[in-house]
Amino acid sequence: MDSDLIEKRRSQILAASMDAFAEKGYHDTKISDIAERLGIGHGTFYRYFKNKLDIFFAVVDGFLAQIKVVVEEEAPQFSDSVESYRSQIRRIGGRMLRLFMADTRMARIIFFQALGVDPALDARLFSIKTLADSMVEAYLANGIVKGFLRPDLDTAVLSRAINAMTLGAAFDILFAANPSETGNRWIEAVSLLMLSGMAKP
Amino acid sequence: MDSDLIEKRRSQILAASMDAFAEKGYHDTKISDIAERLGIGHGTFYRYFKNKLDIFFAVVDGFLAQIKVVVEEEAPQFSDSVESYRSQIRRIGGRMLRLFMADTRMARIIFFQALGVDPALDARLFSIKTLADSMVEAYLANGIVKGFLRPDLDTAVLSRAINAMTLGAAFDILFAANPSETGNRWIEAVSLLMLSGMAKP
Amino acid sequence: MDSDLIEKRRSQILAASMDAFAEKGYHDTKISDIAERLGIGHGTFYRYFKNKLDIFFAVVDGFLAQIKVVVEEEAPQFSDSVESYRSQIRRIGGRMLRLFMADTRMARIIFFQALGVDPALDARLFSIKTLADSMVEAYLANGIVKGFLRPDLDTAVLSRAINAMTLGAAFDILFAANPSETGNRWIEAVSLLMLSGMAKP
Amino acid sequence: MDSDLIEKRRSQILAASMDAFAEKGYHDTKISDIAERLGIGHGTFYRYFKNKLDIFFAVVDGFLAQIKVVVEEEAPQFSDSVESYRSQIRRIGGRMLRLFMADTRMARIIFFQALGVDPALDARLFSIKTLADSMVEAYLANGIVKGFLRPDLDTAVLSRAINAMTLGAAFDILFAANPSETGNRWIEAVSLLMLSGMAKP
DNA sequence: GATGAATGAGTATTCATTCAT
DNA sequence: GATGAATGAATACTCATTCAT
């Protein structure tokens, strides 16, 4: 199949681009850098991607799509007790953090390079954030309805706060000596914080 | 005083640069853009700043210095009850958010432009984050010592989580219709989360 | 016959090229444009023509060859009176203009695109012009010898002038609402001018 | 005066560009060629001209403006006899040819390079041609009204024919061993043709 | 001190041409 | 024979920085 070869080439270029962007950032990465990493002519690059922005978009969007999947696959209505909610937090948090752990390059690009390159890409990132916020807010609303969360929660703000912590965790993991242990500590600490707060009972 | 004039010019250029960087980002801002905003020759710029990176550093660093002041002025040992701790959270949170509210341009630069421009600047941002993390951790440690916070808290992780929420708040405020009201909602919601958690008691 | 197929393909490519060159000019026509018009692979092009210049040459040369035929088929010695000369002018002029009318693309290429692409092609055009000039001059010389044209004519200059008018006519026809009527008007007006001048008798 | 220096620089670049365009044509002239001829950096070029097309336009337009002046300065109504008309033909023809003789580079650019580079420039050339046609037609109309030209002339066609001869003359002169003598021969031959025709009286 | 003319390093992109399949 | 994937030469243009005035 021709389109298989094309797809293969595209992924090779995508992979090399991720390396390059993660290492040097968008502006300091030259198309010829990417081509050199693959040992191909730089003209070849343009057979597979329209231009430099096009591939950066592809790189970032591929990751955002994965996040979107995690966000959308969950079912907020599922939990009906603090305990099942705690499991849910652990599971979603874990999946999200594993996404960031899976590819350090990607995390690096998201945190250090993605913003400010292009307005359309900024908007894309923004929309994912908004989606994630809504999803978390639905969980909180479900918890209130089911009666295991306080009825007076400011769900709009708290959902954003929770996602901010998720990002904080992903960022922290990026520099952690032991990422998966660090991830677990975050999940435990944040789920404790969320459900019980820090005050001594 | 000669040096007064020099300082005045420097701040004019600094102000114009903030406008420019906030609007178009680092890479899309030309030195001549900055000069034009001030009606000065673009050669003049180089009498006050070494180069383009130099002024971006200056812009970002000016803000980081203010954050540092807020961070360092507080006294972690002061609180000795949940109540006084809650006031402290509100006060520090309020000061921090007011910093971001005071200059939207600055917030915009920090969130959208600052990262990935220069490794040294990334490191500078990183070090401020680390400082803030330590400060918050000291508060948590104080709370544990004083006995009003749970002794089993993962202070290293939670301090980062709390700062992540502060950044989340600052970001949210940037797009809020009513920034100061939004700020207050964040402070209330987060301090409640921190001290009591979200579970129905 | 193999060579028949080859010749057929060559003319298909030639035709598509004429379209392309007439529409976008030499420099703005890509080999792939030509191939696309035919639905063939652009590599195939190179099996029939050496390179881009080669086909442009072929396109232009095909037309120049037709002009040459018209020019060379006539017999300057034939006329021996003003009247038969007038018919001759009409006939040659008509044939020449019909050549330009037959293919607007070709006229467009000759007038707007052909010059300045390649020195060798410029020279080829030049040589056709020289040939046409000589032919017309021979007619004038014949007229003088036969005694129906003024003996003091500057035949070298006038032959060029007459051909300049032919080109002028061809150009005019290119934009005429009614080309064949316009052609006739040119032929009448120019033959009158040539034989009688414009002054009131 | 600053603007004097700017104007001086512009003309230098303009002159060097004319050399380059006349020698190698539009497409084969690189901006760096032009800069090299002047011993300036190629970046300097862009301080004075927006881009490559901009300077080509400037080059060609400068010449077209001169033609326009010649065309517009004349007064068609002035002549009222064949004799004064003949002088007028000689004078206008002479001025026009001297324009082309004055700068061989310019003539070369007009004849070999100008067409097909840019639609807007093609249109500009076209509009000058149209203007010249109208002007000549006004002369013919005047001659008819004044009664020294045949009343049955096809003025629309003949005016174009006359301008075609003018272009033919300009082209011929470009390659003439003795341009000014050649110019005079054209003027004499064409004015004779125009007024008396070639037929033996 | 201020200026802005001059500079040229740096780079994305195009497209004619080749050649393995 | 046909194809189109791969190639890289070639080039216009930008903009941070310098420095003579």
Q: Give the pLDDT confidence score for residue B1 in this predicted structure.
A: 53
How many Cβ atoms are within 10 Å of B40's Cβ, its own excluded? 17
Contact call for B148 and A193, based on CB within 8 A: no
Whether residue D14 is predicted with pLDDT greater than 80 in this model: the reply is yes
Protein-proximal positions, strand F, CB < 7 A: 1-9, 11-20
Nucleotide lying nearest to A38, CA to C1' measure: F6
Q: Are A19 and A105 in contact (CB under 8 A)?
A: yes
Mean pLDDT score, D129-157: 93
Q: Which of D151, D158, D200 sits opposite C148 (nearest CB)?
A: D200
Residues C103 and C6 in one domain: no
What is the rounded radius of gyration, in angstroms, for the C-alpha atoms of chain C?
20
Q: Are B76 and B47 in contact (CB under 8 A)?
A: no
Whether residue D24 is predicted with pLDDT greater than 60 in this model: the reply is yes
Q: Give the pLDDT confidence score for residue D31 in this predicted structure.
A: 96
Residues D86 and D98 in one domain: yes
Residues B37 and B115 in one domain: no
Contact call for B189 and A158, based on CB within 8 A: yes
Entry pTM: 0.89
**Kind and range of the H or E element at D83?**
helix D82-102
Mean pLDDT score, B27-36: 96
Residue type, B49: F
Average pLDDT taken over every residue of chain B: 91
Percent of chain B residues past pLDDT 70, beyond the cut: 98
Q: Is B186 helix (H, G, I), strand (E, B) or coil?
A: helix
Residues A26 and A91 in one domain: no
Q: What is the domain-level CATH number for residue D10?
A: 1.10.10.60
Contact call for B143 and A198, based on CB within 8 A: yes
Residues C63 and C44 in one domain: no
Asked if B199 is an interface residue toward chain A (Cβ–Cβ < 8 A), one would say yes
Asked if C151 is an interface residue toward chain D (Cβ–Cβ < 8 A), one would say yes
Q: Please state which of the ranges C73-77, C109-113, C188-192 shows the lowest mean pLDDT.
A: C73-77
Nearest residue in A to B186, CA atom: A157
- Give the domain range for residue A182: 52-198
Q: Are A34 and A13 in contact (CB under 8 A)?
A: yes
For residue D23, which phi and psi values (nearest 5 degrees)? Answer: -75, -45
Predicted confidence band of residue C59 (pLDDT cuts 50, 70, 90) = very high
Percent of chain D residues past pLDDT 90, beyond the cut: 78
CA B40 to C1' E3 (Å) is 9
- How far C104 CA lies from chain D's nearest CA (Å)? 16
Predicted confidence band of residue C71 (pLDDT cuts 50, 70, 90) = confident
Residues A58 and A153 in one domain: yes
Q: Is C149 helix (H, G, I), strand (E, B) or coil?
A: strand
Name the residue with the least CA to C1' distance from nucleotide E2: B44
Q: Give the pLDDT confidence score for residue A79 in this predicted structure.
A: 81
Q: Give the pLDDT confidence score for residue C93 in this predicted structure.
A: 92
Q: Give the pLDDT confidence score for residue D59 in this predicted structure.
A: 95
Residues A181 and A87 in one domain: yes
SS3 sequence of B115-167: CCCCHHHHHHHHHHHHHHHHHHHHHHHHHHHHCCECCCCCHHHHHHHHHHHHH
Predicted confidence band of residue B3 (pLDDT cuts 50, 70, 90) = confident
Question: Which residues of chain D have a CB within 8 Å of the CB of C116?
Answer: 25-26, 112-113, 116
CA D17 to C1' F10 (Å) is 20
Q: Are D140 and D194 in contact (CB under 8 A)?
A: no
Contact call for C189 and D158, based on CB within 8 A: yes
B145-154, C41-50, D113-122, range with greatest mean pLDDT: C41-50
Mean pLDDT score, A92-112: 93
Mean pLDDT score, D185-200: 88
Q: Give the pLDDT confidence score for residue A172 in this predicted structure.
A: 96
Asked if B116 is an interface residue toward chain A (Cβ–Cβ < 8 A), one would say yes
pLDDT digits (tens, 9 = 90+) for A133-165: 999 999 999 999 998 899 999 999 999 999 999
Contact call for C172 and D157, based on CB within 8 A: yes
Mean pLDDT score, A191-201: 82
Q: Give the pLDDT confidence score for residue C184 in this predicted structure.
A: 95
Q: Which of C112, C140, C164 sits opposite D122 (nearest CB)?
A: C112
Nearby residues of B9 by Cβ (< 8 Å), 6 or more positions away: B48
Mean pLDDT score, B141-162: 93
Residues C26 and C107 in one domain: no
What is the rounded radius of gyration, in angstroms, for the C-alpha atoms of chain B?
20
Q: Which of B33, B49, B65 is the last residue of a domain?
A: B49
Structural domains counted in chain C: 2
B73 burial type by CB count under 10 A (0-12 exposed, 13-18 middle, 19+ buried): exposed
Q: Is D19 helix (H, G, I), strand (E, B) or coil?
A: helix
What is the distance between the terminal CA atoms of chain D, rounded to a whole angstrom?
65
Predicted confidence band of residue C22 (pLDDT cuts 50, 70, 90) = very high
Chain centre to alpha carbon of residue D174: 12
Could you check: is the Cβ of residue C53 within 7 Å of any atom of nucleic acid strand E? yes
Residues A117 and A83 in one domain: yes
Q: Which of A12, A32, A49 is the last residue of a domain?
A: A49
Whether residue C77 is predicted with pLDDT greater than 80 in this model: the reply is no
Q: Are A89 and A76 in contact (CB under 8 A)?
A: no
Q: According to DSSP H, which parts of chain A are helical?
A: 2-28, 31-38, 42-48, 52-73, 82-102, 104-108, 119-146, 155-174, 179-196
Distance CA A67, CA A79 (A): 21
pLDDT digits (tens, 9 = 90+) for C92-132: 999 999 999 999 999 999 999 998 899 899 999 999 999 99
CA C31 to C1' E16 (Å) is 8
Residues D100 and D188 in one domain: yes
Q: Give the pLDDT confidence score for residue C98 in this predicted structure.
A: 95
Q: Give the pLDDT confidence score for residue C104 in this predicted structure.
A: 93
pLDDT digits (tens, 9 = 90+) for B63-114: 999 999 988 887 767 788 888 888 988 999 999 999 999 999 999 999 999 9
Q: Give the pLDDT confidence score for residue C1 in this predicted structure.
A: 53
Q: Give the pLDDT confidence score for residue A116 in this predicted structure.
A: 85
**Which 12-41 residues of chain C touch chain D by CB within 8 A?**
25-27
Mean pLDDT score, C8-18: 94
Q: Give the pLDDT confidence score for residue D137 in this predicted structure.
A: 94
Q: What is the domain-level CATH number for residue D151?
A: 1.10.357.10
What is the rounded radius of gyration, in angstroms, for the C-alpha atoms of chain A?
20
Q: Which of D165, D188, D195 sits opposite C198 (nearest CB)?
A: D195
Residues B41 and B111 in one domain: no
Residues A94 and A118 in one domain: yes
Q: Which of A26, A49, A72 is the last residue of a domain?
A: A49
